[in-house]
């Protein structure tokens, strides 16, 4: 385990590449290898939920072991702030994706059962969990520890992690999707990834991202379980009826351009962080090297305990002196550890 931790800390980009490959290979390829899309829609959602769980599990475990994600990443303290920042995006996508029209004028597709709707919602929640834990919880924090938490370093981390997020959405090509629509989707997800990074930094929690991400996907995939009685009930009904392999230039540009204001809005939310000086190692150590600081404190404490064992009975009675020595040693250990982390 220690060798794995040392490797991940020394070879940051290889670790990020490994997470990317694990996420991609355990997604669509595994889905296709296990028989592809089932005939029943309920079975399809159950299978997708299991695939998403398999995708995120090894990456989440690695993230927790290395200290890149922790329980505080799932704190509810920043939930309200994150949802408030994400509300404009949700309103826009529910309108442009035709979700409001489908809810108002649509009907359930054939084959949709009582279990389909909760499975549909759970599947989209799992998409949010898998992608946010992987790309914002682990990959973003790994790069932030390497490149910096402020200034130009943070600006680079936001765009680099978002580009990786966009590249991960090339897997629809394996399901027969056209190259042009897939590229459009990759650009769209990379641009919206910038906004997700801003939500994560401002809220300091993955929970609002997971909720916003799940609702965004619900608005996009609602047509899978609800069909419009009248095609005009959906804003993009004509485009939705076209084969996935076809796309006009306007359609290719419309979705990424629609998300561009939100990327700009996300950068605006981070304007103060971009102005500050870089501090890559200081941020990294606040997560990754917390255990190292704890070990140093424990080593100093054990040294003092061994020292205490050599004292005479009269000296042992003066326990308050030992207590002060122990407190001073722990304070010195913390200062030494902090100085070490700043140099890294």
What is the pLDDT at residue 303? 59
Q: Which residues neighbour 136 within 8 Å (Cβ) at sequence distance 6 or greater? A: 161, 196, 197, 200, 206, 209
Mean pLDDT by 10 residues, the chain (344 residues): 79 92 87 78 90 93 90 88 87 75 74 87 94 95 88 90 94 80 89 93 92 90 74 38 55 78 88 72 44 48 58 57 51 50 39
What is the pLDDT at residue 290? 45
What is the pLDDT at residue 239? 36
What is the pLDDT at residue 300? 52
What is the pLDDT at residue 67? 86
What is the pLDDT at residue 234? 39
- What Å distances lie between residue 135 and 21, 144, 239, CA to CA? 12, 12, 30
What is the pLDDT at residue 289? 41
């Amino acid at each position: 385990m220690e060798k794995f931790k040392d490797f991940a800390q020394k070879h940051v980009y290889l670790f990020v590449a490994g997470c990317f490959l694990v996420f991609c290979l355990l997604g669509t390829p595994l889905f296709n290898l296990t028989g592809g899309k089932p005939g029943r829609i309920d079975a399809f959602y159950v299978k997708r939920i299991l695939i998403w769980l398999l995708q995120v599990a090894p990456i989440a475990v690695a993230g927790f072991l290395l200290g890149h994600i922790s329980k505080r990443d799932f704190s509810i303290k920043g939930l309200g702030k994150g949802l408030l920042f994400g509300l404009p995006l949700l309103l826009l996508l529910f309108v442009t994706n035709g979700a409001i029209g489908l809810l108002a004028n649509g009907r359930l597709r054939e084959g949709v059962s009582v279990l389909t709707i909760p499975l549909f919602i759970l599947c989209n929640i799992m998409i949010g969990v898998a992608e946010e834990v992987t790309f914002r919880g682990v990959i973003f924090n790994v790069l932030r520890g390497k490149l910096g938490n402020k200034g130009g370093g943070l600006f680079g981390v936001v765009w680099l992690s978002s580009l990786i997020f966009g590249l991960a959405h090339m897997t629809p090509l394996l399901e027969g999707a056209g190259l042009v629509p897939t590229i459009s989707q990759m650009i769209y997800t990379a641009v919206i990834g910038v906004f997700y990074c801003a939500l994560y930094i401002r809220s300091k929690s993955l929970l609002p991202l997971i909720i916003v991400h799940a609702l965004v996907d619900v608005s996009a995939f609602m047509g899978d379980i609800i069909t419009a009685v009248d095609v005009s009930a959906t804003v993009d009904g004509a485009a939705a009826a076209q084969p996935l392999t076809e796309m006009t230039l306007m359609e290719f540009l419309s979705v990424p351009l629609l998300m561009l204001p939100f990327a700009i809005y996300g950068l605006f939310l981070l304007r103060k962080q971009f102005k500050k000086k870089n501090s890559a190692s200081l941020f990294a150590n606040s997560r990754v090297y917390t255990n190292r600081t704890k070990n140093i404190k424990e080593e100093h404490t054990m040294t003092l305990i061994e020292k205490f064992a050599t004292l005479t009975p009269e000296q042992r009675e003066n326990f308050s002196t030992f207590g002060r020595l122990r407190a001073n040693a722990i304070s010195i250990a913390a200062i030494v550890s902090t100085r070490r982390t700043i140099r890294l």
